[in-house]
Amino acid sequence: YVGGTGAPKRTLDHAEKMMEFAIEMLRYLDDFNKDSAVPIAIRIGINSGPVIAGVLGNKKMCYDLWGDAVNVASRMESTGIAGRIQVSDATHALLANSDFLFEERGRVECKGKGQMLTYLFKDRKVFH
């Protein structure tokens, strides 16, 4: 599945909103898995950049996003680690002054893109 923030109305805090959503998804799955006979694990990949958005179809309409930013987000997910949030260098740069902490994963081979620098979400900064 693909999710997006900052479209169709552009927002300056889209990366923060997507991180909040991703963290909440992992929290929900942790709670779900406590009572589940079959635990579910997901990989989450986030990228930031320009997209084209629009409505497809005549009978069954669907809002969709296209563009390189979407493709890179997909590569962040497909090369990610189950139970973790992997972000691109572009998203990491947007979150540099946020309260999210990351560890550099290093360069990962991404289909159609080559080696890409990626980061894994670690935790949030604690303010005292």
Residue positions annotated with a catalytic role: 75, 111
Q: What DSSP assignment string belongs to 83-112? A: T-EEEEHHHHHHTTTSSEEEEEEEEEEETT
Give the largest CA-CA distance in the chain. 55
Please count the helices (runs of H) and the strands (runs of E) in the chain: 3, 6
Q: Do the beta carbons of residue 121 and residue 85 sit within 8 Å?
A: yes
Give 100: exposed, middle or buried? Use CB within 10 Å, 0-12, 13-18, 19+: buried
